[in-house]
Every structure is written in C-alpha cells, then in structure tokens.
Amino acid sequence: MIDLKGSIRTIPDFPAKGIMFRDITTLLLNPNAFRAAVDRIEEFGRSRHIDKILAIESRGFIFGAAVADRMGIGLVPIRKAGKLPGKTIKYEYTLEYGTDSIEIHADALHPGESVLVVDDLVATGGTLEAACRLAEKCEANVGGIAVVIDLAYLPWRDKLQGYDILSLVRYDSE
C-alpha cells in the first residue's frame, strides 16, 4: 500500500507565518502515489454511479481530469467568476470577510445527473459547499465529494453535512 501522506510535503510558514502548507506537488512527482490517489477516487466515483466529475480550480483539475478520463465521463471545470467563456451559471458564497463566486458553463450539467466533486484539499469547506450548491442549482445530484487532503482540525464538517465524502489523507493537527 502506498503511503500517500508520506508523499505530501509540508512547508512551514507558507503562504503566511504560522501556516503549515500541505504541498501535493511531491505526490504528483511520485507516479505510484499519484496513481494510488486516482485509483481510490475512481473507485469511490464508480461505486456512486457518477455521470460527470466537477473539478475545482485549480488543483482539483489534476485529479478530476485523471478520474474522468479513466471513467470515460465528462469533466466540468469549476472556475472563479469571469474565467469561463460563454454563458455561465454562477454561485456566490460568503467568506470570513466578504464574498466570492464560482461558475460553470450553463450547458455543462443536466437535471438528474450524478456528479462527483473533486478537489485537492478541504479546509473550511466553503468552496466545496459552493460547488455542491452550484450543482444542485443545476438540478444535478451530488453523488459524493473526493479530496486528497482533509484538514480535520478545521471546522468544515457542518458545511458539508449530508454529503458522502472521501478523503485520502487526514491531518488532525497543524
């Protein structure tokens, strides 16, 4: 069994003093670790009969694209507002100090489709919650959420309560 946690580098004081940044680039450099991560997300998606992958900008694209390719299903990029060409659907959400928004193409999802939301990390849960709400706004069903890293010591669970979540690596403390 591949040690995914051992494949993730921790960088102290990045991007600010006191933060322990969990860097997936070292996992990406290890083809066995990357393959193992994609394997587990794929297995989770298949068990939920997913129609499409919703991948969150930007590191979620890496894992989401690989899983979508393996499963032979579409990939829907979720991007910050103003980054997608054409007609989009937007979801605005509240941050600690202000608001942010994400978008998908208006024709990306259809009512009743089942989606797997993929990102590299869950911290506060705000972006993942917004992605789920955006899918639901399009009348799609969120079949699950998959993240590589779970910062379990941060309060994200209330925001994502009711969703089936796969996390591959858990950090219980900073």
Angstrom distances, CA of residue 131 to CA of 17, 49, 115, 159, 166: 29, 19, 11, 12, 16
Asked about 174 being catalytic, the answer comes back as no
CA 121 vs CA 50, 76, 86, 155, 164: distances in Å: 20, 18, 28, 13, 15
Distance CA 29, CA 171 (A): 21
Of the candidates 42, 59, 103, 129, the residue annotated as catalytic is 59
Active site residue 59: yes
Q: Which of 87, 57, 76 shows the shortest CA–CA distance to 142?
A: 76
Catalytically active residues, by annotation? 59, 96
